[in-house]
Amino acid sequence: MWVFSTAGCRWLGAIGSLAVTVGGWAAGTLPVRGGRGLWEPHGPGVTVAGTVLAYLGLTLLIAAWWQYGRLLAAGAADRVVTTLGWWVAPLVLAPPVYSADVYSYIAQGAMVLEGHDVYGAGPAVLGPGDLGADAAASVGGHWTHTPAPYGPVFLVLAQAVVKLTGGAVVPAVLGMRLLALAALALIVWAVRGLGGDRRPGALWLAALNPLLLVHVVGGMHNDGLMTGLLLAGLLLAVRGRWVAGSVLIGLAVMVKSPAAVALLFVGVLVARRTGGARGLLKGLLPGAVAAAVAAGATLVAGTGFGWLRTQSVAGTIHTALSLTSDVGLGLGLLTGDDPEPVKGAVQKLGLLVALGLIALLARRVWQGRTDVVLALGLSLLALVALSPMVQPWYALWGTCAVAAVAWDTRPGRYLAVLCAALTYETAPSGHTPWYGFALTGLALAAGALWLRREPWPPPHAPAAPVTPAAPRPAPDERARRAG
């Protein structure tokens, strides 16, 4: 049937994306005030209808994405970037969907302009006459009084958006979406470079991923910018340009701190290329370059070094997807009246285990047993899985790296199922209702059953890849070639 072809998937995904956008106009994370008649809250009937339409559109998008991936795995040739354009286009003018974080970003940029300490207070300090006051009124829950956990590079970008738009909600949101689209373009460029002969499928799992589309383009999470800078830096390092790569990774750290994990693997690359004791010493230089970038960016931004003390604020907010927080809370309730000490201990233990896994993967890269891109992706996934705070879109950190080199392997297939399922967890309003978890569980079960019954790529798939294949060199060999 035509609908199961690559062209059919392109149309089906675009229709799903359009339905998500239209549903978002009725049930998205609409601003409390300042919507200018475009993004205004509606009655309960319209809101429910918008929510249903958005979930139906999301299901169409996921179905089109999954079938598209099956066709690519079976050897179909298609213009993946063109398909991405079709699926992204409807979301460009959508209101914020699946998250209210963009209002925090705008309010924090306004706080910098108004002279407030963004690392000492939350958006609640903005008064009615201040820039960004309308955005601050729409900041949800805990984040109203929470200092910014983001680096000064991101705050400078948010500040620029607020300055250019005067802090008006609709123009400011669209300005932040332009940053999200730039992040998407950076991810596409980096994944294409890292993917080699795996480019079409790599872009399928990384850039066309519905989890990325709804949370980076639709929700404008700055995780997209962090991931794009991180992968671009890794690409340059793999090509032998480790100084420039370290600069980009340093900028990524100044968006969100987990990007620092990449510095370890760039250091291993540099050390392996040089060899010997001199190589071990030289392997420390990427971290030094990134530290210099962080210090310079902080001084230029003028926001101070308060970001050093706010990196743990997100961990104080309990999220149901955090395994260590859930286990710690359960054990704490069983052993005493105050579960917080036990919960905190389990959270710290989880981070120690994650650091151990990261060190093990770095050692395997040093030994030449694991590709550096794959190792970084798995490290970021381990960090997310064992972190005290986990959001669905955090899975994109490692998924985009794994996609570049292993989209058609077992880890890639499992990540595809996980991403598809996690896309259902959050409602268009940004809340996490009980039925979101139920839909996530059903999608996980359906995906696992599908993969068990239908190997991917299928047994009848042609052996030849979409583009001429070439053996993928080991990390140090690629560095020598580039050098």
pLDDT at 252 over 90: yes
DSSP 233: H
pLDDT at 441 over 50: yes
pLDDT tens column, 358-379? 999 999 999 999 999 999 999 9
Distance CA 92, CA 220 (A): 10
pLDDT at 478 over 60: no
- Please report the pLDDT score of residue 470 as a whole number: 37
pLDDT tens column, 129-162? 888 899 999 997 778 888 999 999 999 999 999 9
Do 185 and 81 form a contact (C-beta atoms < 8 A)?
A: no
More confident residue, 211 or 333: 211
- Please report the pLDDT score of residue 460 as a whole number: 41
- Please report the pLDDT score of residue 455 as a whole number: 65
pLDDT at 66 over 60: yes
Whole-Å CA distances, 157 to 52, 99, 106, 177, 206: 34, 19, 10, 12, 24
Give the helix/strand (H/E) hosting 298: helix 285-301
- Please report the pLDDT score of residue 480 as a whole number: 41
- Please report the pLDDT score of residue 290 as a whole number: 96
- Please report the pLDDT score of residue 450 as a whole number: 84
Distance CA 314, CA 140 (A): 14
pLDDT tens column, 310-347? 877 766 778 889 999 999 999 988 887 788 889 999 99
- Please report the pLDDT score of residue 335 as a whole number: 85
pTM greater than 0.85: yes
pLDDT at 472 over 70: no
pLDDT tens column, 87-123? 999 999 999 999 999 999 999 999 999 999 999 999 9
Give the position of tokens 């991810």. 187
Mean pLDDT, the chain, rounded, equals: 90
Provide the b/e sequence for 219-230 (b: ≥16 CB within 10 Å): bbbbbbbbbbbb
CB atoms within 10 A of CB 75: 14
pLDDT tens column, 23-37? 999 999 999 888 877
pLDDT tens column, 265-299? 999 999 998 887 888 899 999 999 999 999 999 99
- Please report the pLDDT score of residue 377 as a whole number: 97
pLDDT band at 241 (very low <50, low <70, confident <90, very high): very high
pLDDT tens column, 171-192? 999 999 999 999 999 999 999 9
